[in-house]
Chains A and B, each alone.
Chain A
Amino acid sequence: MTVEATGAGQPAGPGAQEALLSVRDLRVRIAGKQGVAEVVNGLSYDVRAGETLAIVGESGSGKSISVLALLGLVPQPPARVSGEVHFGGQDLLTLDADRLRRVRGNDIAMVFQDPMTSLNPVLTIGRQLAEGMQAHLGLSEKDARARGVELLDLVGIPSARQRLDDYPHQFSGGMRQRVMIAIALACDPQVLIADEATTALDVTIQAQITELVAGLQRDLGMGVIWISHDLGVVAGIADRVLVMYAGRAVEEAVVDDLYVNPQHPYTRGLLGSIPVLGRPDDDLMSIPGRPPDPFHLPPGCAFWPRCAFRYDERCATESPPLRDIGAGHRVATFYDPDRPT
């Protein structure tokens, strides 16, 4: 396994810089008929200005809901959100609805997975671009329109001025995602959250969108949270990667470190299951079993039933804590690759 590139553009390591957004012990519990599901279980991370944190995991691992929770977008009840989310000197989780609304879209913006459905079909692109600017920045219609042209230009939509009056169905998927990004950038957010932003797109368009976001981030100095299930895409854009499994962070590391030196058996499994050109397919690993039902998590390590390295007797009974193994690399496993077995 080789990683051919190092982070283009900027140093990948965490600087001494203070975190823009810092999440501490975020928990989301959902009460259902079968009991209480711990959908997000003690998640902590920091995002610094100009840094991209990728959150990676299978569907159902809680990655999307964890970011929705920090913006107060998880309906409570049935969910219960606890923990702390520090942003701009305040805790987002304790903010009242009105002030939180002013953070959303203004300071922290989001791009969703499916560009085909995330635009309102009956409003022109210009109207949808202007919406946030009028609501948050109090721009007049004329100013919002002028800025709309700038934004479409910025995200690389040709003849922006004319396209402002077009409806979403007149754009292709890749173009719509560009529009979504333009809308997200409208109020100069400090943090951009991209939730599977390229998953619904063709591979070539995927590359263009990740590039676009990386470029914009360099220019605008935003912090980016990039949620994906695809480690391949993440390798191209992230500075740091956080791997989630069953609502927990199981490993977090600087991107190259994670790819070269994965510590958690789950991360190894994920990396081993990516096909590589020139390598025979039978080398492909797959992780046996399925992710656990959040209503019935196994008592010990949530990954234990599927783990290929169950050497430690604590695995079945104890949840491994997230421990620091140096250089900002954190991992939650009892498995030690250096220990002779």
Chain B
Amino acid sequence: MSVDRENTEPGTTGDARRSDDAGGPSAPAEPRWRETLGILLGNKLAVFSLLMLALLVVAALFGSLLAPYGPNEVAVENRLQGPSGAYWLGTDELGRDVLSRVVLGASVSLQVGFVAVGIALFAGVPLGLVAGYYGHLVDDAVMRSMDVLFAFPAILMAIAVLAILGPGTTNAMIAVGIVYTPIFARITRASVLTVREEVYVRAARASGASDLRILRLHVLPNVAAPIIVQTSVSLAFAILSEAALSFIGLGAQPPRPSWGRMLADGRGFIEQAWWIGFFPGLAIFLTVLSFNLLGDALRDALDPRQRSAIQSMGVTA
């Protein structure tokens, strides 16, 4: 065999170092989130859901300014009136304005949804990270206890928690949060299992990074996409759960208006005054639909395969 050493002559090194694939693809660096947002805004359904959710957030934050009447303003003489110029969405059996109550009910739904999913995220993601990263006994201990939680039907589990803690909005948040924790733990763990075998994680370990650092810097960002998607979808289900709990009287307590409660109140009048139950139901439907559509759109936007397909078409270049 012959060995060609020409190139290793000292002196030529400097030039040769610079002469390889110097160009490379030199597209301007674009932060990942901005790229994702770009793809998201190109999706009509995503834009629709974002607009719906923006409306909802405005209603939740400034409901008392927007609502034409107070939520508990009783006008018995106007009870059970259909939608009209004065009462756009009609009045209920006590003569309260349905529109005002729907607008003000947004805050309960969103609050419970966000806080509950927040609890589930902050409990589930670290558990999943630890379980997936360390494996073995830790994995078994964490995931089997999650399985126990997961084995109960979600709403039954929430009712059980509320039976212990007592009814109310705060406890509903905690209950729904506990119910959704195993979902986040599972999703996180599954992604961690693939990411922890990646060469860059081994490389980080070889470069002396601590476990905490590896989890924070290398594992978490690479498992974020499915967690983000799950967050959006879970928000939909958490809001639905809150409505269900309020429907059976365990969630938000009167006089605070909540969609689930209104649905329950309207049930008895479904034949005389359909609007009492219909509009809160529509609000729940649109909210859940929006979060689900957003979840779908996020999944597409965050999917690396889709991303590279879009890139190769030169959209982001």
Given A165-B29, A232-B1, A271-B1 in contact, is the A212-B221 Cβ separation under 8 Å? no
Contacts of B217 in A (CB 8 A): 120, 123, 131
Does A170 contact B26, Cβ atoms closer than 8 Å?
A: yes
Given A3-B2, A172-B25 in contact, is the A135-B10 Cβ separation under 8 Å? no
Question: Is A318's beta carbon under 8 Å from chain B?
Answer: no
A:32-57 near B, CB below 8 Å:
none
CA–CA, A310 and B203, complex, Å: 42
B:183-223 near A, CB below 8 Å:
198-200, 202-210, 213, 217-218, 221-222
Contacts of B204 in A (CB 8 A): 120, 131
Question: Is A205's beta carbon under 8 Å from chain B?
Answer: yes
Partner of B202, one of A5, A112, A163, A235: A112
CA–CA, A57 and B206, complex, Å: 22
| From A122, A183, A231, A235, residue with most partner B Cβ within 10 Å | A122
Question: Is B44's beta carbon under 8 Å from chain A?
Answer: no
Does A118 contact B27, Cβ atoms closer than 8 Å?
A: no
CA–CA, A130 and B267, complex, Å: 62
Does A118 contact B203, Cβ atoms closer than 8 Å?
A: yes
Does B222 contact A120, Cβ atoms closer than 8 Å?
A: yes
Contacts of A274 in B (CB 8 A): 1
Q: 1/0 per position for B132-148, CB-CB distance to A under 8 A?
A: 00000000000000000
Does A1 contact B208, Cβ atoms closer than 8 Å?
A: no
Q: 1/0 per position for B1-39, CB-CB distance to A under 8 A?
A: 111110111100110111111101111010010000000
| Partner-contacting stretch, out of A100-108, A141-149, A296-304, A331-339 | A100-108
Does B24 contact A8, Cβ atoms closer than 8 Å?
A: no
Which residue of chain B has the shortest Cβ distance to A235 in the bound complex? B3
| From B8, B26, B198, B222, residue with most partner A Cβ within 10 Å | B8
Q: 1/0 per position for A124-145, CB-CB distance to B under 8 A?
A: 1000000110011000000000
Does B32 contact A122, Cβ atoms closer than 8 Å?
A: yes
Does B222 contact A236, Cβ atoms closer than 8 Å?
A: no
| From A204, A215, A237, residue with most partner B Cβ within 10 Å | A215
Given A117-B199, A156-B18, A211-B13 in contact, is the A277-B2 Cβ separation under 8 Å? yes
Minimum CB–CB distance from B101 to chain A (whole Å) comes to 44
Does B3 contact A136, Cβ atoms closer than 8 Å?
A: no
Which residue of chain A has the shortest Cβ distance to B221 in the bound complex? A122
Contacts of B18 in A (CB 8 A): 156, 158
Which residue of chain A has the shortest Cβ distance to B195 in the bound complex? A120
Contacts of B208 in A (CB 8 A): 101-106, 132, 135-136
Question: Is A151's beta carbon under 8 Å from chain B?
Answer: no
CA–CA, A131 and B212, complex, Å: 13
Question: Is A23's beta carbon under 8 Å from chain B?
Answer: no
Q: How many residues of A contact B (CB 8 A)?
A: 70
Does B3 contact A117, Cβ atoms closer than 8 Å?
A: no
| From A135, A173, A204, A274, residue with most partner B Cβ within 10 Å | A135
CA–CA, A314 and B14, complex, Å: 52
Partner of A175, one of B8, B21, B202: B21
A:209-223 near B, CB below 8 Å:
210-212, 214-215, 218
Does A110 contact B207, Cβ atoms closer than 8 Å?
A: yes
Does B29 contact A131, Cβ atoms closer than 8 Å?
A: no
Minimum CB–CB distance from B136 to chain A (whole Å) comes to 9
Q: 1/0 per position for A66-103, CB-CB distance to B under 8 A?
A: 00100101000000000000000000000000000111
Minimum CB–CB distance from A95 to chain B (whole Å) comes to 12
CA–CA, A135 and B17, complex, Å: 29
Contacts of A173 in B (CB 8 A): 21
Which residue of chain A has the shortest Cβ distance to B10 in the bound complex? A9
Minimum CB–CB distance from B31 to chain A (whole Å) comes to 9
CA–CA, A119 and B204, complex, Å: 9
Minimum CB–CB distance from A257 to chain B (whole Å) comes to 14
Question: Is A207's beta carbon under 8 Å from chain B?
Answer: yes
B:23-60 near A, CB below 8 Å:
24-27, 29, 32
Does A104 contact B203, Cβ atoms closer than 8 Å?
A: no
Which residue of chain B has the shortest Cβ distance to A103 in the bound complex? B208
CA–CA, A278 and B5, complex, Å: 18
Does A105 contact B209, Cβ atoms closer than 8 Å?
A: yes
Given A8-B10, A218-B10, A259-B3 in contact, is the A174-B202 Cβ separation under 8 Å? no
Does A4 contact B5, Cβ atoms closer than 8 Å?
A: yes
Partner of B29, one of A2, A167, A271: A167
| Residues of A participating in the B interface, judged by any CB pair closer than 8 Å | 1-5, 8-9, 68, 71, 73, 101-106, 109-110, 112-114, 117-124, 131-132, 135-136, 155-156, 158, 163, 165-167, 169-175, 180, 183-184, 204-205, 207-208, 210-212, 214-215, 218, 231-232, 235-237, 259, 271, 274, 276-277
| Residues of B participating in the A interface, judged by any CB pair closer than 8 Å | 1-5, 7-10, 13-14, 16-22, 24-27, 29, 32, 198-200, 202-210, 213, 217-218, 221-222, 224
Nearest 8 pairs of A and B residues by beta carbon: A105-B207, A5-B5, A156-B17, A105-B208, A104-B208, A215-B13, A235-B3, A118-B199
